[in-house]
Amino acid sequence: MIKKSAYAHAFAFYLVSLASAWIQYPPDGFATMTHYTMPSDFVASCGCTSDSSQFPTAAMNQMAYGSSTSYGPACGKCFKLTLLNTFLSDPPFYPPESKSVVIKVTDLCPLSTTGWCNATENGPNAGGHDLNFDLVWPSSAIPDDFFPSNETLYGASYSDFGVWNISYATVTCQSNWAGSKDAAALGSVASLGDGGCCPANPTGNANNTCPSFSDQSGVPYVISIWFGRLCTYCFCCSPDTTTSSSSYPLTIPTSALVVLCASLSYYSLS
């Protein structure tokens, strides 16, 4: 029996940390690659120096990047990315030559419900992968013909396939990343202070790898307010969706997204 009078005005708060929800990924594997335009000399989410943009850089999808805003554990990491095939074209395109680029992660590709940066612990993106590398391209550091096509087969409209299936390998930045010998391209913008984190050669050790900015500052979280028998309000203090290519200083988002509330109900035990 449900005692309405006893519970009608009862409520409880639930704070659910999403800190454990970051995607853990192996050092080598498969991923998708997209590309985006970033102005040269732009200071992206990690706060890496503007000179870093003169070398190959990329954004990483939020749940693998490890923070919903500002810097995260992926910042500064270097990966060798190798084009394998397109899969949205009909037929898929397998380029005759193998093309690779070594990038440094400098930016965050925000979590979204669809799109290529939407992988979570609960499922991959539409390419079946947990990781998406959003390459800064065009770039003075990468040839304009980096992405191959075959106009005879696909026509001029497919000079840019947009999304690629790739393999990735974690590599040390030293000796692999084109900017690793350029002091001006390393580290974070000094004026950002603790607001930037861009190690020259992060290895995953806490000594040389960025923490999660959003874990440190308490973003994101979910509040459920239970009213009587029903979960009447649930807010998810947003995983930030405004940081990609936004300039510093970033403001922590205050807007909230309403999430999963409908199917929950509360039953009295007495």
Ligand X SMILES: *[C@@H]1O[C@H](CO)[C@@H](O)[C@H](O)[C@H]1NC(C)=O
Instruction: State which of residues 7, 11, 87, 235 lies at the interface with ligand X (CB under 6 A).
Output: 87
Q: Which of 31, 253, 218, 41 is nearest to 125 (CA)?
A: 31
Cβ proximity to ligand X: between 126 and 178 the closer is 126
Instruction: State which of residues 7, 30, 233, 248 lies at the interface with ligand X (CB under 6 A).
Output: 30
Q: Which of 264, 226, 204, 256 is nearest to 12 (CA)?
A: 226
Tell me the CA end-to-end span of the chain in Å, nearest whole number: 6
Q: Which two tokens stand for residue 220?
A: 């994101």
Residue sitting closest to ligand X (CB): 123
Return the residue matching tokens 């299936």. 165
Stretch in the footprint of ligand X (CB under 6 A) among 53-61, 150-158, 187-195, 232-240: 150-158
Q: Is 100 in the site for ligand X (CB under 6 A)?
A: no
Instruction: State which of residues 45, 61, 106, 118 lies at the interface with ligand X (CB under 6 A).
Output: 118
Q: Which of 16, 122, 106, 124 is nearest to 65 (CA)?
A: 106
Instruction: State which of residues 5, 98, 157, 205 lies at the interface with ligand X (CB under 6 A).
Output: 205
Q: Which of 82, 146, 134 is nearest to 108 (CA)?
A: 134
Number of residues that bind ligand X (CB under 6 A): 21
Q: Which of 22, 14, 20 is nearest to 264 (CA)?
A: 14
Cβ proximity to ligand X: between 85 and 170 the closer is 85
Cβ proximity to ligand X: between 100 and 150 the closer is 150
Residues pairing with 139 in the sheet: 142
Q: Is 61 in the site for ligand X (CB under 6 A)?
A: no
Q: Is 165 in the site for ligand X (CB under 6 A)?
A: yes
Q: Is 98 in the site for ligand X (CB under 6 A)?
A: no
Sheet bearing 256-258, strands edge to edge: 11-17, 221-227, 230-237, 256-258
Could you list the residues that contact ligand X (CB under 6 A)? 30, 84-85, 87, 96, 114, 118-120, 122-123, 125-128, 150, 152-153, 165, 205, 207
